A and B are shown apart, each in its own frame.
Chain A
Amino acid sequence: MLLSMNWISDFVDLSGLDKLKLINQFSLSTAEVENEIFFKGSDIEGIVVAEIKSVDEHPDSKKLHLLKVDAGDGSLTDVVCGAPNVRVGMKTAFAKVGAKIGDITISPRALAGYTSYGMCCSEKEIGISDDNSGIMDIAEEVKNGTDIKELYQIEDIVFEVDNKSLTNRPDLWGHYGIAREFAALADRPLKPLDTVNLDDYKNLPKIDMKIEDSLCQRYSCLQVENITKNVSPVNMRIRLFYCGMRGINLLADLTNYLMLEMGQPMHAFDSRKVEKLRIKRFDKPFVFTTLDGVERNIDENTLMICNDNTPVAIAGIMGGLDSEIVDDTTRLTLESATFDAVSIRKSTVRLAHRTDASMRYEKCLDPEMTVPAIARFVKLLTDIDSGVKVVSSLTDEQAFNYETIKLDFDKAFVNRYTGIEITNDRIVKTLESLGFKVKLDGDNFSVTVPSWRATKDVTLKADIIEEITRIYGYDNFDINTVSAPILPVRADLEKSAEDRVKDILVKRYSLHELHSYVWAYHDEYKALGIEIEDNIKLVGAVNPNIETIRKSIIPTQLCQVKYNTGFSSDFGVFEIGRVINGLNADNLCNEQKKLAITLFSKTKSVEALYFELRGMLSVIADDIKHKELCFESKTEAKSYQHPRNLNTIICDGKIIGEIGIVHPTVSKKIDKKAAIVYSEIDMRDFAQIANASIAYEEPGRFPEMEIDLSFVADKFSTIKAAIDEQNSSLIKGVSVSDIYTDESGKSITIRIRFSHPERTLTGEEVKEVTDKIINTLSSSGVMLKQ
């Protein structure tokens, strides 16, 4: 919202004060002011009122005229002018030689064979409106040579307040409310609004008006007639223009002016069209044409202003075309009302039509403002057009009751909340300057909230704290730390597991951490031939491509791998992110936190890559939990999973995840030749696993003995089981030293380490154990390699 410093100064005397400093203070205490401040009129100089004394046709041009003007300096000046509205005796704005308009300095200039010693100006050229249809037409009584800046309020400081920062301040949607803030900040009195006394008309007839729907909180109206003027005064139009509005005609300008001044939207109807004013909703939808000529669909939730049963305006949003003021309108009905803010906002959204009026109504306007707004409107109107007659008494109806808000608190409360010392005097003064009524009894305050702050803004004691502190100034606060007991902060198990997993994968395995979205991208999945698993969906997403929430990170990760195939021949990525696996019994989402890893390689065999990934997972389990992993083959594969070598990962007897190869169809779409393997671990399940404590074992003092044995076997687990079965305390470790395939099939060479804590082992003792292992295995068909 644009604000004029001249306008504010109508209501508070700010003379002698640094205006820019005040604006900055306003930004820090009230609402955010945009950085650019406009110094209106500073770019024009030397423009005076001049009278056109003669007008001659230009011999070679149909458009140009040759003028002699009297700029009040005792001689006539020759001017060549292209404006269509020139006439003898007209007074206009004249830029003399040497005058400045923006970056241009006026100098004598040849135009089609004649020299022009200056320029007659339109309002647009001076920067006071967008009217460029002709040169300015100034009242005859003004003395020639008068500086235009003395004649009109062209010089002004205009600043813009971010509308978002006014969301909760319905009182700040007009200059008067803003002036109240400046008065409080500058510690100067706020002047009352100059209005007519509506009681003067109380004997006139009432308007036939009735609120039939409580969505209308208050409706005030008054009829006037005998308006003879059509054009607003220049100063009024300048203010409207500076504040971002176009001048239209006196009535439209006045309603706009009043809205910008008091924040109260008003509307003027042709009284013939609103003989029986009714405010209500309709049972059935219909089409309504607003005064901008647009046909709009009105539904049963939209509040309408009606003439009996004929809608004439959308309440709080826009008037109708049919009830607009027209040329033969003689009597006007002025509307000043408040409506339910939520209802207005919803209607605005439904109609996709936001107006200056609806923007204000959405903020919960002060219902006590409707009547003063009418009184002010009539005052402004009669000041401009003295013949105007009020022909009805004030007709005012209220459809809701609100209670005055009173808040009680004491000094200790203020001290506790602010942490600084603010005197009682200062508290009283601040609140009173903002319109609060304050009673102070010792250290106890009793505060009455003014109506313009009471609609939703100030309802609690904490709200009062804000009023006191923002005017006090946050820059003036002493800042202090707290006094609280010092207590240890325990690291969260899950959080630290997450951090350590990331460190291992990045630092030890050079993997890259990526983030992906929580939903499945239909297009990307489709391109890779991945089926979207059925899961809970978003409702009304802006992008329909992202409807379904993912059940696993892997598919989204594969889409990312596809995107990065050109990055390197070998790379690995990981993410710790969320997935949803359907709904729990309580109908709430089963959200899970997963670690997903995908490895991509064009140089390694899929087996080598698979084992690399297995190694990473084992290191994670060993490093963080001091636990080993087991794997169990899984048969049920999803669309992107290779059915072979799909294994569940088991730690501490609990399934914590999966490891697998990407299905060849998907894999080939990512890269024709690359090996791609993946794993996904449930981070919460993993974090819950108890950390095995370190079991220290004295290093043996006697030599170890190592025995290598080769078996024709398919899986090491078979051999391992046979060894474990012996339960021999002499066995200190088993490792695989070779795996190879020859004519007798796959062979596994293992190395067993033996030792005894108290003596050197004999060959016989060791052989006894190995023989048992060999026998156990051979009895189950696994033969020792000869």
Chain B
Amino acid sequence: MTEKLTAVKQSFETELAAAQSLDELENIRVSYLGKKGSITELLKGMKDLSVEEKKDFGGKVNVLKNEATEQIALKMKELKEKEIEREIGSMPEFDLSVPANLSRGSYHPITLVQRECERIFKSMGFNVEDYSEVVTDYECFEALNIPKHHPARDMQDTYYLENGQLLKSHTSAAQNAIYKKYKSALVNEGKPIKAIFPGRCFRNEATDACHENTFFQMEGVMVDKDISISNLIFFMKTMLSEVFKRDVKVRLRPGFFPFVEPGFELDISCAICGGEGCPSCKHSGWLELCPCGMIHPEVLKSGGIDPEEYTGFAFGLGLTRLAMMKYGVKDIRDLNSGSLKSLSQFTDDE
């Protein structure tokens, strides 16, 4: 029996040493330590031995069984480590020089500049209003102190519809509705009217690189008890510095618009030359950016607000122009072209 034990031990050690994989190791475990395994069999073969022999031999077999279990465990650990190493070794080096696949969408550039302006004004407590594209003559002209025979009402400038309504020629067309919407909060709760209204405007004219019949503006108004020219300059400067992300210098010149008095043309210092003069600013150092002014008393009156008690300012920002300036778009028609070659380039920009 002892020879048998020695033989089993030897063959176990030989086979174990030869094992290359976890599968082989498992086979070895089963063939020695399984229910019918060689070592298990040794114990079964003890039934013919004397008690003394049983005790002695049994002890040896148990030692062997423990040794085998331990060696298998060790071997298993070794083989597992080897397997991980093999897996690591088999991993190829990736070629990161291959361009990434940027399957991504795009926002219309107007959406991008509009969102930026909205964010700035919201942060200063302005409401963002939406308004229709089709408006009445009253909203677009009458309520804005634009008299019946003003050139702005000419057919050649405005798209009139068969029912007498028109496609709004400026975002100022929303002013009247906004005053009416907020006047009770102004009068009864002392809540100043602070609103911006971005929107699409239309002019009945031929298009070229600088002219579009469909374009975007953003109007802004603020009305309260003591709104002054000084406040207007402050807001314009603060807002434009945010838009252009630099400390812009602003300059006001008299400008005539029937719905403001006094009315201004607002210039900002040219970003390209820093005010020295360059082709972009026609060598003046200034860029004409947005008309603004103190809301005309008649316009406030049309909105149901007493101009003796309240004053306010209004401004109009050309969103289309802003987008063109920001992204260097030279041909205004690109914006409505629907061309994905140009418009797919505009991604989230905040």
Contact = CB atoms under 8 A, between A and B. Distances in A.
Interface in A574-627: 578, 580, 583, 587-589, 591
A35 B348 CA distance: 38
B106 interface: yes
A560 B336 CA distance: 10
A417 B106 contact: no
A549 B297 CA distance: 36
B130 A494 contact: yes
A411 interface: no
A80 to B, nearest CB: 42
B342 to A, nearest CB: 10
B189 to A, nearest CB: 9
A469 B262 contact: yes
Contacts of B231: 419, 479-482
B205 A416 contact: no
B330 to A, nearest CB: 18
Contacts of B128: 491-492, 495
Interface residues of A, number: 86
Contacts of B252: 28, 474-475
A139 B340 CA distance: 72
B142 interface: no
B70 to A, nearest CB: 39
A399 interface: no
B318 interface: no
Interface string B94-125: 00000000011111101100010000001001
Interface in A20-40: 27-32, 35
A513 B229 contact: no
A35 B284 contact: yes
B159 interface: yes
- Chain B, interface size category, equals 35 or more
Contacts of B261: 460, 462-463, 465-466
A491 B122 CA distance: 9
B130 A492 contact: yes
B304 interface: no
B252 to A, nearest CB: 4
Contact of B161 (A502, A516, A536): A536
B294 interface: yes
Contacts of B107: 502, 506, 513
B102 to A, nearest CB: 9
A542 interface: yes
B163 A587 contact: yes
Interface in A491-523: 491-492, 494-495, 499, 502, 505-507, 509-518
A345 B204 CA distance: 20
Interface stretch (A71-79, A563-571, A763-771, A775-783): A563-571
Contacts of A482: 192, 222, 224, 226-227, 231, 234
A696 to B, nearest CB: 31
B230 interface: yes
Contact of B294 (A27, A462, A514): A462
Nearest to A576: B111
A581 B332 CA distance: 29
Interface string B279-304: 00011100000000010110000000
A110 interface: no
A32 B229 contact: no
A588 B192 contact: no
A559 B132 CA distance: 24
Contacts of B130: 492, 494-495
Interface in A320-370: 342, 345-346, 349
Interface string B245-286: 000000111111000011111000000000000000011100
Contact of A477 (B108, B229, B336): B229
A287 interface: no
Interface of A: 27-32, 35, 165, 167-169, 342, 345-346, 349, 416-420, 460-463, 465-466, 469-470, 474-475, 477-482, 484-487, 489-492, 494-495, 499, 502, 505-507, 509-518, 536-543, 549, 559-560, 563-564, 567-568, 571-573, 578, 580, 583, 587-589, 591
Interface of B: 103-108, 110-111, 115, 122, 125-130, 132-134, 136, 149, 151, 154-156, 159-163, 165, 167, 190-192, 200, 202, 204-206, 213-214, 222, 224, 226-231, 233-235, 237-238, 251-256, 261-265, 282-284, 294, 296-297, 311, 335-336, 338-341, 343-344, 347-348
29 contacts: A168-B256, A346-B149, A416-B226, A460-B261, A462-B297, A466-B261, A466-B262, A474-B229, A475-B252, A479-B230, A479-B237, A482-B192, A482-B226, A484-B224, A485-B191, A485-B192, A489-B122, A492-B127, A492-B129, A506-B348, A515-B338, A537-B162, A538-B161, A538-B167, A538-B204, A564-B341, A567-B344, A578-B200, A587-B163
Given A564-B338, A568-B340, 18 more contacts: A169-B256, A345-B151, A416-B226, A419-B230, A465-B294, A474-B253, A485-B191, A490-B127, A506-B347, A509-B105, A513-B111, A518-B133, A536-B162, A563-B338, A567-B344, A580-B134, A588-B165, A589-B165
